[in-house]
Amino acid sequence: MRPTRTLSGRRALAVAATAGLLLPLTACGGDSGPKDGPSKPGTGSTASGPPAARLTVLAAASLTDVFKTAGAAYEKAHPGTRITFSFAGSQELVAQVAQGSPADALITADTKSMDKVRADTGTPTVIARNRLVIATAEGNPLKVDELKDLADTRLKVVLAAPEVPAGKYSAKILDAQKITVKPVSQEPNVRAVLSKVELGEADAGLVYRTDAESAKDKVDAVEIPDAQNAVAAYPAATIKDSENAAAAAAFVAWLSSPEAQKILLDAGFQKP
């Protein structure tokens, strides 16, 4: 049997840290169900489907934009359910789960991160895939055309840190092409890399295609040939200590549904 967790000093600190990262999401338009919702998390039910609940979902930073849309769609279809997302680098999310932070589901940007908390989660399912691009300033003023251009020491290049999935994928494709890049900074998540390029603090950075798409009015995306690229997989799983097990399982299953898949594909993600 899995030992019962108590709210230790470490977990109390984890709870406080998690609370600071949570991004509340409310449904957009239409009747979103009873205003008061269920009396307790995990109680109450919709006319059909899983019980209504207040879910906390830990999700990779590169899912920030698409999950706002997906979460709103799910809430609309499941009156009484409310989803709070916490977006961060996968390595940070995994650390939160390992420390016992209260949450109901986890979606990472690579399978290796998910594997680290295998004892704490249900069986993961890959819900989407992604690829890297080179993000440059709008108009690509320095004419960055391919990966080897990132080795130019006159360029200010930013990468995700080595422990971040985007950083691992970046290192993998650069090493495969025998390209040495000396980044001016290594960021804690891929959205921080994108932000550096958006703000003009970097000339180029490796980000996911979907990140560049979300900021297409501020950055240009230089495609990387598939033969030189890496495929990012996004596994989703419930967290075993969830107080809303049925509702969490329903949300994770919904992410593979045609409705959710259309939202992901429209945002530039690829099929699982």
Q: pLDDT band at 109, cuts 50/70/90?
A: very high
Domains of the chain, CATH where assigned: 9-128+233-266 (3.40.190.10), 131-231 (3.40.190.10)
Rounded CA-CA distance 166/174 in Å is 12
pLDDT of residue 3: 43
Q: pLDDT band at 5, cuts 50/70/90?
A: very low
| Residue 243 in this model has a pLDDT that exceeds 80 | yes
Instruction: Write the CB contacts of 236 (distance below 8 Å, at least 6 apart in sequence).
Output: 105, 106, 107, 124, 125, 126, 127, 252, 255
CB 58 within 8 A of CB 96: yes
pTM for the model stands at 0.81
User: What's the chain's average pLDDT?
Assistant: 87
| Range 108-135 average pLDDT | 97
Which two three-digit tokens encode residue 34?
């009873």
pLDDT of residue 41: 41
CB 184 within 8 A of CB 154: no
At 17-38, the pLDDT tens digits run: 444 444 444 333 333 333 343 3
| Range 62-72 average pLDDT | 97
pLDDT of residue 12: 42
Q: Which of 227, 221, 202, 209 is nearest to 265 (CA)?
A: 209
Q: Which of 190, 188, 197, 191 is nearest to 157 (CA)?
A: 197
Q: Which residue has the higher pLDDT, 36 or 232?
A: 232
